Amino acid sequence: MIKTPVYMDYHATTPVDKRVLDAMMPFFTEHFGNAASLQHRLGWIAKEAVEIARKKIAKAINAQPREIIFTSGATESNNLAIKGVAHLLRSKGNHIITTQIEHKCVLESCKTLEAEGFRISILPIDQFGKVNANDVKNAITDSTILISVMFANNEIGTVQPIAEIGKLCEEKGIVFHTDATQAVGRIPIDVEAMNIHLLSFASHKMYGPKGVGALYIRSKNPRTAIEPQINGAGHEHGLRSGTLNVAGIVGFGTAVQIAMDEMEEENIRLFHLRNRLQEKILKIENSSLNGHPTERLPNNLNITLHGINSDQLMTEMNDVAVSAGSACTSEEIGDMQYSHVLHAIGLNEESGRSTIRFGLGRFTSEEEVDYVAERINSVRSKLRTFSSLGVV
């Protein structure tokens, strides 16, 4: 018997793994000290727990522990990276390069900087959601100080040529930032080999708690510097002031370690489940796949059911949790905008509003995949019948 609702929105957030929760619990009640209170034992225990987590997180991306700065999440990390570099390097240049399909917090950060006098180049992507490294190269000018390209897209799952862009930035002496929120813990990342200078990610995308994230900042070869965006008592090497979320950080570290330990086996499982779901849904008449057919996240599936309104489909299919796009594209709850990502890959508004994103995860079963495929087909048939009768 399938337990409902069936959750297939793992790109939006993930449930906290019980192993993560177990690691966190003592830091809410027993080891509740402030990691900055180094005059007593409770503070020492908290500080040590934070540093252990920092080591685990750094190891996952081949960084040094001192290069990991804790934040409240990926949105803050992206803001800190982009605005921090722009404000610090303003005297050297005012040009920033990014792409059409970045997360809203990246695009909005760039928009804010544009109002301050910075020049922003937003590069197009191809029909599969991939940016061409040559387009990045051709957009560079003498005033370019930062290039920000997301590692893997949160809607269509397409993985970008990060190593190629990183090599280009290294050759040109330009700071390279990537929003790797959907990628860390899901696909291998090596900040050294890929020449990444700044990398943003968050705990709650990998079965850790919400409200905690990190920003990797390269410390040498070359050293990358940013201007702090939050002033205070100088926590996190003076780059992000504020009392550390010790329990959250402990959970973050545990979640990352579990994800890395299980990545290879989990990806094989997710590829199988995703491809099974994809095969079943694409048998539906007038359906099409969005994103790159092979170079995308193993748990991502984004499909357009042409002629069916996705909001209506999700309302009818209330025993399955999927989404019509990013959880961060709505003006208000229940008022979803037409996805800028789908627009960028060439879908018109009608097709964009007929699109469903499936995010599979650690607790997705084959039985759930089959159930969701059946529900999609059943509800789609019902809606098309109503439409032909003039009811919808």
User: Smallest Cα–Cα separation from 109: which of 198, 48, 191?
Assistant: 198
Q: Residue 90's CB: how many other CB atoms inside 10 A?
A: 15
Select which of 105, 110, 169, 328 is catalytic.
Answer: 328
Map tokens 């897209």 to a residue: 153
> What secondary structure letter does DSSP report for 187?
S
What's phi and psi for 144, nearest 5 deg? -70, 125
Q: Which two tokens stand for residue 244?
A: 């550390």
> What secondary structure letter does DSSP report for 186?
T
Q: How far apart are CA 343 and CA 128, in angstroms?
A: 12
Q: Long-range pairs for 379-384 at CB < 8 Å and ≥24 separation? A: 379/313, 379/316, 379/317, 380/284, 380/305, 380/308, 380/313, 382/316, 383/308, 383/309, 383/312, 383/313, 383/316, 384/307, 384/308
- Told to judge if 169 belongs to the known catalytic residues of this protein, a careful annotator would answer no
State the catalytic residues: 328
